[in-house]
């Protein structure tokens, strides 16, 4: 029985020897892939480079939320 250790989260998980064939171990694959991307790519520079687009998307979500909630708030105030 081996015990994988995730140093990022300081978490120890006990896994049986047949972990490679169990469905639970397959669910950790996206987490491993995500961790690999975070550790090996320049994702932070990409975010800074795309900051204008990200800010625009966030303001779009805020605007859509306001449009969605305005009728609800108006009904509550009118009552």
pTM, two decimal places: 0.50
pLDDT in tens, 35-68: 888 889 888 899 999 999 999 999 999 999 999 9
Name the token pair of 68.
Answer: 């969605």
The token pair at 30 is 């996206």
Does residue 6 sit in the same domain as residue 36? yes
Q: Which residues contact 43 (CB under 8 A, 6 or more apart)?
A: 37
pLDDT for position 75: 93
At 7, give phi and psi (nearest 5°). -70, -25
Is the same domain home to 26 and 56?
no
Beta carbons of 49 and 36 less than 8 angstroms apart: no
Domain of residue 73: give its range: 45-79
- From first CA to last CA, the distance across the chain in angstroms is 64
Residue with tokens 């990409």: 46
What is the pLDDT confidence band of residue 31, given thresholds at 50, 70 and 90? confident
The pLDDT value recorded for residue 7 is 56
Q: pLDDT digits over 12-28, tens only? A: 555 554 444 555 555 57
Look at the chain and report how many structural domains it folds into: 2
């Amino acid at each position: 029985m081996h015990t994988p250790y995730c140093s990022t989260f300081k978490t120890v998980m006990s896994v049986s020897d047949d972990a490679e064939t169990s469905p639970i171990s397959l669910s950790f694959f996206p987490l491993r892939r995500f961790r690999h991307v975070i550790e090996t790519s320049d994702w932070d520079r990409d975010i800074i480079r795309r900051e204008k687009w990200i800010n625009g998307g966030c303001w779009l979500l805020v605007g859509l939320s306001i449009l969605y909630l305005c009728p609800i708030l108006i009904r509550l105030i009118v009552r």
